[in-house]
């Protein structure tokens, strides 16, 4: 059942009083895998991590580590280490003693401790900092020390709870690449918590998207971005225009969908359908996948639907231009298109009649919200 996974969560549920925080959570982590738990604040990421680490017991479900049930084992009996957002370094110790702390508790020989600490510090590029006091370090350096302290014990699994959350954006981007490189080199499995989609996309082998204590979708960054299963995932990963519609016809690999204002679109669709013919669904289209064409211009590609609309507003953002378009005047629903094409900066024809061209492959058909 665990299929050789390093870690498996089986049907984990947890409530605090009347507040259900996790509901039937399942996922696995492979050996050496970088798995990210992603979701908005309060969705249960930290609680999941605390259950894996053993700081919290689930109400239901089991935690399996290499196939062994560790659900009720205390943290120190699990081959797991946690790195928190707040570094939890000892301020009165120097760097060496901070990193060596766990090894001394385990009473390893001093030579081995010295060797391992030196190796861990070199890994986080802080060789030579051994006798510095932690109060003399920058935020990025402190987080690297916290990481060295976690790696020095060579756990099979490292849990990281928003470890870069306290760093400014530029430093964070650099640390993301470093962390990922270290994880690859050591082949330690990471369960990494973040609420930052870009961070999750940049670092993970797979992502578990959470909402309200439930797993919405598990997949590689590309799968989650290209084939989101729900409108929540579509909008949370990147952004998306979400329309409600009805699947009015399914014939020989082609679908017809009725959108707002009774606008019908018909196109080939190769993916599994989320609902049956006749039912309501959601249609998600990413802003960068809508190309705006002025009425007089010819369509460049054939494999797309062409929806007539008006351009209601443009916002120039430097590297891209946002175009607000109105294809559904009766319902008033507008779509956002994002374009890097410079001609949109020049023309800015307010209220111009346009075509919104959307390639068939970029139309995502999803379950309506609240059906899962
Ligand atoms: N020890 C606790 N006692 C009561 N409620 C808690 C406790 N820990 C977490 N919660 C609640 O559980 C929910 C999920 O919290 P958490 O797992 O920290 O979310 P996240 O890390 O995704 O932001 C929140 O509503 C939070 O207030
Ligand atoms: Mg949290």
Write out pLDDT tens, residues 164-208: 887 888 888 888 998 999 999 989 999 999 999 999 999 999 999
331: left (phi over 0), alpha (psi -120 to 50) or beta: alpha
Task: Return the pLDDT at 3.
Answer: 55
Nearest CA to ligand 1 atom 2: 16
Residue of 39, 44, 85, 213 to mutate, ligand 1, most atoms within 8 A of C-beta: 44
CA pair distance 244, 249, nearest whole angstrom? 16
Task: Return the pLDDT at 299.
Answer: 76
Q: Is 16 a pocket residue for ligand 1 (Cβ < 6 Å)?
A: yes
Task: Return the pLDDT at 348.
Answer: 60
Distance 84 CA to ligand 2 centre (A): 10
Residue with tokens 């270290």: 182
Q: For residue 356, give the nearest of 265, 276, 272 by alpha carbon.
A: 265
Task: Return the pLDDT at 361.
Answer: 93
Q: Is 18 a pocket residue for ligand 1 (Cβ < 6 Å)?
A: no
Task: Return the pLDDT at 2.
Answer: 44
Distance 347 CA to ligand 2 centre (A): 46
Residues having C-beta closer than 5 Å to ion ligand 2: 46
Distance 14 CA to ligand 2 centre (A): 15
Q: Which domains does the chain have, with CATH numbers?
A: 7-234 (3.40.50.300), 235-366 (2.40.50.100)
Low-confidence stretches of the chain (pLDDT beneath 50): 1-2
Q: CA separation (Å) from 80 to 45, 75, 156, 236, 369? A: 17, 8, 6, 30, 37
Nearest CA to ligand 1 atom 6: 16
Question: What SS3 state is found at 31?
Answer: coil
């Amino acid at each position: 059942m665990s299929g050789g996974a390093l870690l498996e969560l089986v049907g984990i549920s947890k409530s605090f009083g009347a507040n259900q925080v996790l509901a039937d959570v399942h996922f696995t982590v492979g050996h050496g895998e970088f798995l990210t738990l992603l979701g908005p604040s309060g969705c249960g990421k930290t609680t999941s991590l605390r259950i894996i680490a053993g700081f919290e017991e689930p109400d239901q479900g089991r935690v399996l580590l290499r196939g062994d049930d560790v659900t009720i084992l205390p943290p120190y009996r699990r081959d797991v280490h946690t790195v928190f957002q707040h570094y939890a370094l000892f301020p009165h110790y120097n760097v060496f003693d901070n990193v060596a702390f766990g090894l001394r508790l385990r009473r390893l020989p001093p030579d081995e401790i010295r060797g391992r600490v030196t190796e861990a510090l070199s890994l986080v590029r802080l060789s030579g900092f051994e006798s510095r006091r932690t109060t003399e370090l920058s935020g990025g350096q402190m987080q690297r020390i916290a990481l060295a302290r976690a790696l020095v014990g060579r756990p099979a699994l490292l849990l990281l709870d928003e470890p870069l959350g306290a760093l400014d954006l530029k430093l964070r981007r650099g640390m993301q690449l470093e962390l990922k490189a270290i994880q690859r080199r050591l082949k330690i499995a990471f369960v990494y918590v973040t609420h930052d989609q870009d961070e999750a996309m940049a670092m993970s082998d797979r992502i578990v998207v959470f909402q309200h204590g439930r797993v919405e979708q598990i997949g590689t960054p590309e799968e989650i971005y290209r084939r989101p299963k729900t409108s929540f995932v579509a909008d949370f990963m990147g952004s998306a225009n979400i329309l409600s519609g009805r699947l009015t016809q399914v014939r020989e690999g082609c679908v017809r969908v009725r959108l707002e204002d009774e606008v019908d679109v018909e196109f080939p669709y190769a993916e599994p359908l989320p609902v049956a013919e006749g039912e309501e669904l959601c249609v998600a289209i990413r802003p960068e996948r809508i190309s705006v064409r002025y009425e007089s211009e010819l369509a460049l590609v054939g494999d797309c639907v062409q929806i007539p609309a008006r351009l209601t507003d443009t916002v120039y953002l430097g590297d891209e231009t946002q175009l607000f378009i109105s294809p559904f005047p009766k319902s008033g629903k507008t779509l956002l298109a994002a374009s890097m094409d410079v001609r949109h900066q020049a023309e800015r024809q307010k209220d111009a009649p346009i075509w919104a061209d959307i390639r068939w492959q970029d139309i995502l058909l999803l379950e309506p919200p609240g059906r899962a």
